[in-house]
Amino acid sequence: MEKFVITGGKPLHGEVTISGAKNAAVAILPATILAEGVCVIENLPNISDVSVSLNILSVLGARVRMLSKNTYEIDTTHLVGTNVPDELSRQTRASNYFLGALLARFGRAQVAMPGGCNLGSRPIDQHLKAFCALGAQDSVDYGMITVRAKEELSGARIFFDKVSVGSTMNAMLAAVRAKGQTVLENCAKEPHVVDLANFLNMCGADVRGAGTDVIKVRGVESMHGCTYSIIPDQIEAGSYMVAAAATGGDVLIKNVTPKHLEPITAKLRRAGAEIEEFDDAVRVRRTGPILPLKINTMPHPGFPTDMQPLMGVLLSVAQGTSTVTEGIWDNRFRYVDELRKMGANVQVDGQVAVFEGVEQLQPAPLRASDLRAGAAMVVAALIAHGTSEIEEISHIERGYEDIVQKLQGLGADIRKVERQPAALSQAL
Ligand code: EPU
């Protein structure tokens, strides 16, 4: 029952430090199961999707100890279960990574059909195809997915019909301890795929080629714990880059890998932002007008779908007509309804949205319909002159650590307040 109250119209200024990558963390945490020992994971973002994954590990019998806000020690030597409780699996899409990790270690796993953002249909056929190729069978019963190895898992050649981050990572997890070599083709190349491979290799696995579309995994008999630091979050960094550009601010965004930001940097430069790259930081400034763009979202290294709603906000106040084509998810323009409440002029036809830039956005009562749509609403509220309120912020807190404090540090007028229950607020 909490909401954000944001008074916009002020350019953001100052420095912000980016947290560890959510989409790497939620795969690396289940991967600690394969280490069968003690792992220390550093730079873990303090967000609810990570807490859910840590809770799942605890329930399965791992010893989870917080060493600091962003560092956890996880001992997976003695696990007691292979079933992820229903209510935990449904809280995050990433619970499906427990399928690959538990299958590889115990030959069996059960997870409920995962939750997460509603971006349209989110099948897991490619995950299951990979498990089956390695020698498992699957069944779905009353919303629970069970995978079971028929005998020992053994290496296989797997061609993904779709480029999929989740299937690539789940197949890697399942294959690292299988007998012989697995060759994965048409793989996703996102930075978090590479991060998972690096973590697995630090634990004694033999994974080569991550970051290209062919990944070769030679199965090893045993693995061990390690200390590992998660990469910076590409999308959190991109979100602050857009916020800086949209508000006409000047922000130094620290703890980033500029290479991972290239598709975002290139588009923001075309939109009129000035971007300076340093070893592990980028500075984003904008003084001139926002120029219109054409954007097509694609798998890495294309323009990331997770940045699409944020760029949509920027383009809603560009000088001219922009076109955004969503190439990954079939339902990722739901935020447009909220933007229209603010006076944006956007037409959506299937997977294409056309933005006719308007001079200004007006404040409005807003809703975070999913994680990135929620972040987009925050940026929209930051540029609108006046006070907007955003509800359903739990979606935003699934993926952005300390967003209120970080934005306040940049001079934004943002507060998190308790929302009055409807009956009570009417009575007052
Ligand atoms: N797909 C299939 N079959 C499958 C798996 C995927 O057809 O078995 C399709 C999907 O329907 C989609 C496309 O393949 O059209 C790509 O899906 P992918 O598997 O890559 O997505 P994901 O692993 O479920 C991750 C991120 C998403 C991000 C996508 C694309 C995590 C936990 N989630 O999802 O992040 O949008 O990759 O980059 O890593 C977010 O962080 O806001 C978010 C939604």
pLDDT for res 389 = 97
Is 117 among the catalytic positions?
yes
Residue predicted with more confidence, 302 or 123: 302
Whether 310 and 161 share a structural domain: no
What token pair was written down for 71? 């560092």
Instruction: Provide the residue range defining the domain that includes 81.
Output: 22-220
Q: Whose CA is nearest to atom 37 of ligand 1?
A: 165
Output the CA 122–ligand 1 centroid distance in Å. 7
Query: Is 269 among the domain residues?
Result: yes
120 close to ligand 1 (CB < 6 Angstrom): no
**Catalytic site residue from 117, 187, 203, 226:** 117
Last residue of a domain, one of 220, 240, 260: 220
Per-residue pLDDT band at 423 (split at 50, 70, 90): low
Model confidence at 141, in pLDDT bands (50, 70, 90)?
A: confident
Given the CA of residue 120, which atom of ligand 1 is nearest to it?
A: 11
Cβ(158)–Cβ(185) below 8 Å: yes
Q: Which is higher by pLDDT, 421 or 266?
A: 266
The answer as to whether 226 is a domain residue is no
What is the three-class DSSP state of 71? strand
Percent above pLDDT 70 for the chain: 96
Encoded tokens for 218: 């030679």
Domain count, the chain: 2
197 and 240 together in one domain? no
Q: Single out the residue in 153, 186, 220 at which a domain terminates.
A: 220
Mean pLDDT of 208-215: 98
pLDDT of residue 122: 78
Q: pLDDT, tens digit, for every residue of 224-276? A: 999 999 999 999 999 999 999 999 999 999 999 999 999 999 999 999 999 99
- Our answer on whether the CB atom of 374 is closer than 6 Å to any ligand 1 atom is no
Q: Closest Cα to atom 23, ligand 1: which residue?
A: 166
Residue 348: beta bridge partners? 353
Query: Is 360 among the domain residues?
Result: yes
Residue with tokens 């308007």: 358
In a domain, 227, yes or no: no
Same structural domain, 43 and 173: yes
Domain of 171, CATH number, reads: 3.65.10.10
pLDDT at 125 over 50: yes
Q: Examine the domain organization and report whether 313 and 209 are in the same domain.
A: no
Whether residue 281 is found in the same domain as residue 346:
yes
269 and 325 housed in the same domain: yes
**At 65, is the pLDDT very low, low, confident or very high (cuts 50, 70, 90)?**
very high
φ/ψ of 409, rounded to 5, equals -60, -20
What would the mean pLDDT of 27-33 be, rounded to a whole number? Answer: 98
In a domain, 225, yes or no: no
Strands (E), 209-271: 214-218, 227-229, 250-254
In Å, what is the CA distance from 138 to each residue of 33, 135, 149, 192? 20, 10, 9, 26
Q: Residue 425: pLDDT above 50?
A: no
- Mean pLDDT, the chain, integer: 95
- Percent of the chain exceeding pLDDT 90 equals 90
One domain for residues 207 and 240: no
Residues 15 and 28 reside in one and the same domain: no
Cα distance from N-terminal residue to C-terminal residue, the chain: 17
Name the DSSP letter for residue 409: H
Q: Is the pTM of this model over 0.75?
A: yes
Pocket test for ligand 1, best of 119, 193, 213, 328 (most atoms within 8 A of CB): 328
Same domain, 252 and 366: yes
Residue 114's pLDDT band (cuts 50, 70, 90): low
Indicate whether 247 and 382 sit together in one domain: yes
Whole-number Cα distances in Å, 359 to 14, 31, 318, 353, 383:
26, 48, 8, 19, 11
Q: Mutate which of 19, 22, 23 to test ligand 1's pocket (most atoms within 8 Å of Cβ)? A: 23
Q: Which is nearest to 407 in space by CA: 210, 249, 197?
A: 249
Out of 220, 247, 276, a domain closes at 220
Is the distance from the beta carbon of residue 249 to the nearest atom of ligand 1 less than 6 Å?
no
Q: Do 299 and 329 share a domain, yes or no?
A: yes
Ligand 1 near 376 CB (within 6 A):
no
Probe ligand 1: pick from 165, 351, 401, max atoms within 8 Å of CB? 165
Q: What is the mean pLDDT of residues 383-408?
A: 96
Same domain, 117 and 13: no
